[in-house]
Amino acid sequence: MAQSKKRRFYMRTAILAVLVVAIVFTVYSNLNKEKNAVLQVGDKAPDFVLVDMDGTERRLSDYKGQGVFLNFWGTWCKPCAKEMPAMDNQYGEYANKGVQTLAINIGESDLKVNSFSNRYGLTFPIAIDRNKSVMESYNIDPLPTTFLINPEGKIEKIIKGEMTEEDIANFMDQIKPS
Amino acid sequence: MDKIVCACGNVNPAGTELCESCGRPLTEETKEKKIVDMRYEGSARRSQTYNKTIIDKVWNFFSSVKVGMWIIVAILIAAAIGTILPQVFYVPATNETDIAAYYQRVYGGFGTLYYKLGLSDLYSSWWFQVLVGMLGISLVIASLDRVIPLYKSLKKQKTKRHLSFLKRQRIFGMGKSDVTEESLLKTEEKLKELKYNIKREGNAILAERGRFSRWGPYVNHLGLIIFLFGVMLRALPGFYVDETMWLREGETLYVPETDGYFLESKEFIYETYSKEESKEVYGDAIDRVGTIAKNYQTDVSLYKGPEDSVAGHTEDLKFEKEASIQVNKPIKFDNFSVFQMDFRLDELATMTFQLQDKETQQSFGEFTIDLADPQPFYELDEGYKVEVMDYYADFTGFEEGVPQSQSPLPNNPAFLIKMYSPEFPKGETSFVMIKETVEPLGVNQHKIAFQSVETRDVSGLTVRKDLTLPLLALGGLIFMIGVAQGSYWNHRRIWIQLSEDGQTVVAAHTNKNWLSVKRDLDKVTEVAHLPKYLDQQDIDSLEEKVDKEEGV
């Protein structure tokens, strides 16, 4: 009698546990899917290869051991225009401390990207994601979105929206290799 | 709690109402009843018996059919509320502030409240999913708690039942009639003819048919559980994809979520019915509404990037196949389907201009700007050249003298242009908009004259992958089998017993369709001269009726 009761208790606990775990898992992963379909802080940053405006091939995995300040932008996006000169200043500060800046334009024309970069005198590498595959793999929405990638190639932080120069400096400092 | 030992010697689990073996009522409450509740054969539903630890309490909560019903009602109400205003995925806005603004603008204060309460994204809210999950738990536990005892007691039931059990059946008859061994054999034969399974034990017969219909509800629940499990799998990466992409004619884009596939749009085709070809069918409708769509189609080529290539890679795309995507005729590859869902006609693609003398309108050459890829220089006639200094795709005006573009789409293109000519080797600057030109640095001798445009269409495509469909179909099928099993068959039992004092007892039970079991019994009575039976519930209701009428 006592034994069968004990067995029943364990049985019930096990069944309930399985069901509850299934529900918690479903709800949890659905909520995360809403926020950011695949990429989350701590994930490995998906590798990509793009040719920048100077014709140099930029492959994310080549930056291993350095921090990468990865910014997605558009010429028509006003917050982007505001933060990019500030990014350029900090790029100058941090490039020799092992934090690289890479700005990825989403599918605009060479002419437009060049005229933008000339107007603001930008010096960091800019590449155009022509078939939007990098945008898709990073799930970019809205512009600007910035990914901080640490020297191990993991995502340290995802920033959606505009940053001040102070923010940018702090963020770059955060992914400085030690 | 102790087990209950019946007078017949069978040991029943605590909480049993009718002895699993002989059918004697075991509780005072049951003994007082005229007709016993046969729903679960009087077996001890486990939920009702143990109630000690927290686990037991939680278990009992979910085991209750009443609780299950309330969960369903709650889901119904919530799902209904979600249909009052369009859900967020139907709203033409992508970020939070735009969505909030949309609800505010279109639906006013109620819209804002609806959005703030999270009802605009109700079906993905955690509490809605928890409700559905609770329904799943309820299904599993309530079924387990009922199907196991039911199975046990149906398997254990004796052919010979105690009179106190038979007496409490809805259909019951007893009387002295000369029923002999021979007529019992006749009875058996007749019942066999009526497709009953016969069990015989001494002078007792148990005829039973359609027992499997009792499992209907549980088969049905099993189907639902499989269905819910399939829906749950959608949360796992790789099982379910539902994405949209806008693809312009001539453009090659990465197909979201796929393993390195690219689609190139060759052409978007929009056809309407002409009056000549379909006067009979659509003639009236065309007169009324103007145009009727016949076909939406995107002709595409599918490419695949090299194995283990990374995002951004644009070379070495391997051609896979060509296809014409039409409504409900997607292109299929690698478990993905890409559907034709939407379109935008006539987006500006190229603009052609002439460099002219403003007064004489003499042309010094023509050039065409590809709006997706404007070139910095266009060489014209000897000595004439045009430089595109900047391009504004969606020009909205000047802010502090700087031209603004609100999007990368060529809705209102404008160009900052320098015109070089032998007279002006340093160039004249002109800001060219549609139907208007501004000369920011003084009066020019030359002008850019608009000649023509070419447009291209944009296809709205949906990228779909759903590996859970087979599981959902299986769940649905099992669900329907369960429904059919429980609805179109019924479990009928007839007990016939000769007692030692020469009395014959007849009783019958069915879980539905009482008329049929009575008819079966009538046929048997005819051949075997069994005593007359009564429908005790009918008597009750008759008496009740009389009482009521007297009361009035």
- Contact with chain B for residue A10, Cβ under 8 A: no
Contact (CB, 8 A) for B356 and B446: yes
pLDDT in tens, B379-437: 998 889 999 999 999 999 898 888 999 989 899 999 999 999 999 999 999 999 988 88
Residues B200 and B188 in one domain: yes
Helix (H) or strand (E) holding B418: strand B414-420
Torsion of CA A138, A139, A141, A147, to 10 degrees: -30
Residue with tokens 């017949």, as numbered in its chain: B8
Strand ranges, E, within A3-140: 49-51, 57-59, 67-73, 99-106, 126-129
- Contact with chain B for residue A23, Cβ under 8 A: yes
Residue that is last in its domain, among B472, B503, B522: B472
Q: Using CA atoms, how far apart are residues B377 and B389, in angstroms rounded to an integer?
A: 9
**Interface A-B: count of C-beta contacts within 8 A:** 127
**Residue B124, by phi and psi: left (phi above 0), alpha (psi -120 to 50) or beta?**
alpha
Domain A49-174, CATH among 1.10.490.10, 3.30.420.40, 3.40.30.10, 1.10.10.60: 3.40.30.10
Q: Using CA atoms, how far apart are residues B420 and B425, in angstroms rounded to an integer?
A: 5
Q: How many CA atoms lie within 13 A of B14 on its CB side?
A: 10
Contact (CB, 8 A) for A94 and A172: yes
Residues B88 and B98 in one domain: yes
Q: Using CA atoms, how far apart are residues B530 and B191, in angstroms rounded to an integer?
A: 13
Torsion of CA B308, B310, B312, B314, to 10 degrees: -20
Contact B137 A19 (CB under 8 A): yes
The pLDDT-based confidence of A36 (bands split at 50, 70, 90) is very low
Q: For position B552, what pLDDT does the model report?
A: 41
DSSP one-letter string for B487-540: HH---EEEEEEE-TTSEEEEEEEESS-HHHHHHHHHHHHHHHTPPP-EEHHHHH
pLDDT in tens, A9-26: 888 899 999 999 988 988
Q: Give the domain extent around B414.
A: 346-455
Q: Is B59 exposed, middle or buried (0-12, 13-18, 19+ CB in 10 A)?
A: buried
Residues B400 and B427 in one domain: yes
Q: Which amino acid is at B108?
A: G
CA distance A44 to chain B (A): 14
* DSSP-assigned letter for residue A65: T
Q: Using CA atoms, how far apart are residues B123 and B79, in angstroms rounded to an integer?
A: 8
Which of 361-420 (B) contact A at CB < 8 A?
Answer: 372-376, 388-391, 393-394, 405-408
Residues B51 and B148 in one domain: yes
Smallest Cβ–Cβ distance between B391 and the set A33, A34, A111 belongs to A111
Most A CBs within 10 Å: which of B390, B395, B418, B458, as the mutation test of the A interface?
B390
Residue B477 lies in a domain: no
Q: For position B501, what pLDDT does the model report?
A: 78
Residue B30 lies in a domain: no
Residue that is last in its domain, among B120, B154, B188: B154
- Preceding omega of A144 cis (within 30 degrees of 0): yes
Contact (CB, 8 A) for A142 and A63: no
Q: Rounded to 5, what percent of chain A is helix, strand, coil?
A: 45, 20, 30
Residues B280 and B341 in one domain: yes
Most B CBs within 10 Å: which of A24, A133, A136, as the mutation test of the B interface?
A133
Residues B428 and B451 in one domain: yes
Q: For position B284, what pLDDT does the model report?
A: 82
Tell me which residues of chain B have a pLDDT lower than 50: 551-552
Alpha carbon of residue B12 to chain centroid: 44
Please calculate the CA angle A114-A119-A123 and round it to the nearest 5 degrees. Answer: 70
Q: For position B306, what pLDDT does the model report?
A: 85
Q: Using CA atoms, how far apart are residues B464 and B460, in angstroms rounded to an integer?
A: 13
How many structural domains does chain B have?
4
- Preceding omega of A142 cis (within 30 degrees of 0): yes
Q: Using CA atoms, how far apart are residues A146 and A133, in angstroms rounded to an integer?
A: 17
Residues of B with CB below 8 A from A33's CB?
Answer: 235
Q: For position B535, what pLDDT does the model report?
A: 87
What are the sequence ranges of the domains in chain A? 1-35, 49-174
Residues B354 and B341 in one domain: no
Residues B307 and B388 in one domain: no
Residues B340 and B465 in one domain: yes
First to last CA, chain B: 48
Token digits for B549? 């009428």
Strand ranges, E, within B13-81: none
Q: For position B193, what pLDDT does the model report?
A: 92
Q: For position A34, what pLDDT does the model report?
A: 54
Please calculate the CA angle A60-A63-A66 and round it to the nearest 5 degrees. Answer: 135
Residues of B with CB below 8 A from A131's CB?
Answer: 252-254, 262, 314
Contact (CB, 8 A) for A177 and A154: no
* Angle subtended by helix axes A165-174 and A78-94, to nearest 10: 50
Closest CA to B441 of B422, B421, B412, B419: B419
Alpha carbon of residue A119 to chain centroid: 26
CA distance A146 to chain B (A): 16
Q: Using CA atoms, how far apart are residues B147 and B142, in angstroms rounded to an integer?
A: 9
Q: How many CB atoms lie within 10 A of CB B96?
A: 12
Residues B352 and B414 in one domain: yes
Q: Using CA atoms, how far apart are residues B521 and B514, in angstroms rounded to an integer?
A: 11
Q: Using CA atoms, how far apart are residues A159 and A174, in angstroms rounded to an integer?
A: 13
Question: Is the ipTM value over 0.85, yes or no?
Answer: no
The pLDDT-based confidence of A127 (bands split at 50, 70, 90) is very high
Q: Which amino acid is at A145?
A: T
Residues B467 and B337 in one domain: yes
Angstrom CA distances, B459 to B42, B89, B128, B295, B351, stand at 64, 19, 34, 13, 21
pLDDT in tens, B112-147: 999 988 898 888 888 999 999 999 999 999 999 899
First to last CA, chain A: 64
CA distance A118 to chain B (A): 11
Residue B4 lies in a domain: no
Token digits for A167? 């923010």
Query: What CATH number is given to the structural domain containing B520?
Result: 3.30.310.80
Pinpoint the alpha helices (H) of B23-64. 28-32, 54-63
Residues B50 and B143 in one domain: yes
Contact B310 A59 (CB under 8 A): yes
Residue B499 lies in a domain: yes
Residue with tokens 């369903």, as numbered in its chain: B72
